[in-house]
Structure 1
Amino acid sequence: MKKTSKRHLPGIALKASSLAALALCAACTMIPHYDRPDGSVAGTYPTAGDAAKAMGNSTSGIPAASDIGWRNFFTDPRLQKLIELSLKNNRDLRAAAFQVDELRGQYQIQRAALMPEIDLQGTGTRQSVPPALSQSGTRYGSVYQVNFTESQWELDFWGRIRSLSQAALQTYFATAEARKATEILLVSQVADQYLTLLAYDDELKVTNDTLATATESYRLAKLQFDVGTGSELDLRQAEGVVETAKANLQTQVRLRQQAINNLVLLVGEPLPDDLPAGTTLGEQKLMTDIPAGLPSDLLTRRPDIMEAEAKLKSANANIGAARAAFFPKVTLTSNAGTISPTLGSLFKAGSGQWAFTPSISLPIFDGGANIAGLAVVNADKKIAVAQYEKAVQSAFTEVANGLAGRGTYDAQIEAQTRFTATTQRRLDLSNLRYKSGVDSYLNVLTAQNDLYQAQLSLITAQLARQTNLVDLYEALGGGWIEHTGDTPRPSDVEYSIEPAAPAAPASATTAG
């Protein structure tokens, strides 16, 4: 017994080692090792003005932008409601969500190719055979059969199907991150458009005030001209100021209405009449001391960068599929069931039948198609690398520009505010000198026009400061969560007012 058992051990060991080798081969792919490319950006952001101070100790203890909820960043109740409505109704965001569903389905289709496809088929045939060709002498015959059929199932020895499945998965992740980027961008677009609308409101107020003052000046100039104490030159100059203010008023009314139309498009529905009361442009209290962190932090904060990296990983996985195309393809086809000349005996003993057909195909000559296919996917990867690096560099530039603005706009507005006050004082003095007869009316009109332009410039600077903060918040990855402290939802989960249940399937935020 011992000799017999020893004689069988080598065969058993050989069989076991063959199965192990087969399993190991089936578990491998030809996907190249992935290394994240260098973003080719500096290790720190450049600073301008007071940006360095804003990035220093004043930001200690403040969460990163991606961890700040948009309701905490935007405190205007009216703006909060508009953002909420846009996240539910915006059509671009809906289309992005549908694209996520589409790519999820395509990934599941590609992954299903790893499993055999089994169908149940039942057929019944009644046929007539010439007596001369019938071995039994029976002219008529019947054949009934029921089969479980497995279509051609490719044994993925070289990982071709798994490479394609991995490429589809990364494409799905990229689409989910693109949807997340669309949502973050939408939040900032709604805020920017709302702030622009507030700026037009302020400009209209300034223009209306200027028009009222200019109209009164024109009335006095006309009265003096009518009684012979004023010149026509003064009259026409005063009239020109009035007409200029009227033209500016119509321009601002038009731009304001267009801003409302753009806001309606972003929100996805007409603006409700019961919106909460908002605050003016100058009363907006946006967070200013947001830590910028390091450029490397953008790799995990910015969904557009994560989207570009997922596309790169997908291109990398396609290389594995192209490499596997050079190796033999093994497929299995089989069926098993019952066959009988009568329907009643179809499932009786002795009616079983089966067929098993393995096949192997080895590419010998294809006119260079496989070589060209490998060259294509290698080029696609190089393109994806360049696009990833461009995404990192663009993100770095956006943040750097935002920090430069944060460090300079405050000082600009302070200077512009002082200049506006000085211009107002100059107008007051010009009026006094004109009424005292020691100065011409031209100086009054010049001071009045300078004050008007200074007030508009101040509003423009205030708008630029606010939108710069909004854009910096978005550039640093802010706008995904609603409240500070919320657990970020996966990238493929849509916004909901009520907290959503934790998602079971893996998503782009958990991709390795």
Structure 2
Amino acid sequence: MPAATASAAVPGGATQRFVLEQSIQADWWALFESPRLNALIEKAFAANPNVEAAQAALRAAQENVYAQRGFFFPTIQAGYTPSRTKLAGNLGGNSPGIQGNGSVISTFQGTPASEGGTAPFNGPVIYNFHTAQLTVGFVPDVFGANRRQVESLEAQAKAQQFQLEATRITLASNIVAAAIQDALLRQQIATTTAMIDANVAMVELASRQLKAGYASRLDLAVQENALAQARQLLPPLRKQFEQNRDLMRTLIGAVQDEEVPAFELGALRLPEELPLTLPSQLVEQRPDVRAAEALLQAASAEVGVARAARLPQFSIDATLGGAASHIGQMFWNSGKFFDLALGITQPLFAGGTLLHRERAATEALRQAAAQYRSTVITAFQNVADTLHAIQTDAEALQAAAEVTDTAKTALDLTQRQHQRGYLDRLALIGAQQTYRQAQLNLAQAQATRLGDTAALFQALGGGWWDRASNEPTVAQTTADRANP
């Protein structure tokens, strides 16, 4: 790459120099020195729904990590079960309604069987029973299934964090692009309007000359055609302008009747020093590359989880409690009880389910590895494309400035020769249209150079790491809240 770009003596035509390994500031858009642009981006960070959704997704991923870490500890549960039971008295045998000598304990009428009488019915019995117990369960992570699951969830949370950074960078880049487009369309509309006004004046002049006999009907028709062509350019520009304003409102999370600031190409300063990052650093800086790396790590951990599911599973359970018919007697020595159990389970046959799940996880790992390589290659392409665009943009702006200068000179000469009668009206109209078109192309070249400069900051990662080193990230804030 050349050390510097071409230059032109127009706004936004300064020479840009590439500085190897220069740090990228987190608020790189401030290099354009536009307070309106800075305020718009800050407002978007606070109100854009996509940023809010990415923050919520990150917090949810962090909470899933904390939840999975809980499986490293035993579970403790306390239970209390009061019951009231009514037993039928005609169950026979030594049911609660019959004494050992056969007499019936009942409030019903009857003569005891020992006295020669019969007892037609045994009396029902109603009694209370209370049980309280403490249960402790623990699943030892013998083969690392839980460790790998935690690793997978942590990697997914890391991917969500980088997704949040990518969302912020993309949002800032889109707002910068919309602001540049707003400035470009304003200048194009102003140039086109000036072109229309000039043609209206020329039509009026040709009409007066026709009436005075100094111009033909053909001269008037040619001038009217030039006016119609100029007017035809204006509606599409106004359409693009309003749609771009709608886009700006959407990016900042505002409704469509909210006012947004206006921008001018001359008010946006072109950064003269551009960072240039080594490929090894680029892999560490791009949020999409880091997110793909985290997803690769998560896929690797899922292979370990699937493999551990085919190995023996261990569990330890213990129960301690008391039971009695009266609540105050539950923890007497006669009412206490305990239970201690060790469980070992080895899957023997599951129809190939566990084996194929492990194979599926292995293939998912290969997929994540391929996607990671694709993301890295695309990142290199983005940077290379942007660097080439910046070089050619400078050359295009230089050429557009030269064309505009020569077109202006040609228009001035044509106007003087037309006034002296050496050139006809067609030559004058052609010179005017050439100059106005050169102005439009110049504005487009200025805007393109500004836009590709912003694209370079985005392609190099946007400097999120500098902001993260000074400000707590959403992930850090969530972690502090969960672990005070």
TM-score category, normalised to shorter length = 0.7 to 0.9
User: Percent of pairs identical after alignment?
Assistant: 26
1:236 partner SS = helix
Deviation at 1:478, TM superposition (A): 1.8
Q: Does 1:434 align with 2:392?
A: no
Greater relative contact order, per chain length (Cα 8 Å cut-off, separation 6+): 1
1:291 partner SS = strand
Partner of 2:11: none
Match of 1:218 among 203, 219, 231: 203
Partner of 1:91: 49
Q: Relative to 1, partners in 2 of residues 1:304 and 1:488: Cα closer, same or farther, differing over 3 Å?
A: farther
Partner of 1:505: 479
Q: Relative to 1, partners in 2 of residues 1:275 and 1:266: Cα closer, same or farther, differing over 3 Å?
A: closer
Q: Does 1:425 align with 2:415?
A: no
Q: Does 1:235 align with 2:235?
A: no
Partner of 1:147: 133
Partner of 2:141: 156
Deviation at 1:385, TM superposition (A): 0.8
Deviations 1:311-367 (A, max 9, x none): 000000001111112211112233211211211212334432111222211111112
Match of 2:23 among 60, 64, 79: 64
Matches within 5 A, 1:79-478: 79-129=37-87, 130=91, 132-134=93-95, 139-150=125-136, 153-270=138-255, 280-478=264-462
Partner of 1:487: 469
Q: Relative to 1, partners in 2 of residues 1:90 and 1:211: Cα closer, same or farther, differing over 3 Å?
A: same
- Whether contact under 8 Å (1:51, 1:407) holds in the other structure is yes
Separation in 1, partners of 2:247, 2:238: 14
Separation in 2, partners of 1:136, 1:241: 115
Separation in 1, partners of 2:383, 2:298: 28
Q: Relative to 1, partners in 2 of residues 1:214 and 1:478: Cα closer, same or farther, differing over 3 Å?
A: same
Partner of 1:38: none
1:290 partner SS = strand
Separation in 1, partners of 2:469, 2:303: 36
| AA partner of residue 100 (structure 1) | L
- Whether contact under 8 Å (1:188, 1:470) holds in the other structure is yes
Q: Relative to 1, partners in 2 of residues 1:400 and 1:488: Cα closer, same or farther, differing over 3 Å?
A: farther
Deviations 1:15-39 (A, max 9, x none): xxxxxxxxxxxxxxxxxxxxxxxxx
Q: Give the superposed CA RMSD.
A: 2.9
Q: Relative to 1, partners in 2 of residues 1:271 and 1:342: Cα closer, same or farther, differing over 3 Å?
A: same
Separation in 1, partners of 2:223, 2:2: 43
TM-score of the aligned structures, taking structure 1 as reference length:
0.80
Partner of 1:27: none
- Whether contact under 8 Å (1:55, 1:291) holds in the other structure is no
Partner of 2:35: 77
Q: Relative to 1, partners in 2 of residues 1:195 and 1:55: Cα closer, same or farther, differing over 3 Å?
A: closer
TM-score of the aligned structures, taking structure 2 as reference length:
0.85
Q: Relative to 1, partners in 2 of residues 1:373 and 1:329: Cα closer, same or farther, differing over 3 Å?
A: same
| AA partner of residue 328 (structure 2) | G
Deviations 1:71-103 (A, max 9, x none): 642310110110110000001111111111221
Separation in 1, partners of 2:5, 2:429: 40
- Whether contact under 8 Å (1:70, 1:480) holds in the other structure is no
Separation in 1, partners of 2:286, 2:407: 44
| AA partner of residue 326 (structure 2) | T
Q: Relative to 1, partners in 2 of residues 1:73 and 1:480: Cα closer, same or farther, differing over 3 Å?
A: farther
2:330 partner SS = coil
Separation in 1, partners of 2:94, 2:264: 98
Deviation at 1:389, TM superposition (A): 1.0
Separation in 1, partners of 2:271, 2:173: 14
Deviation at 1:254, TM superposition (A): 1.7
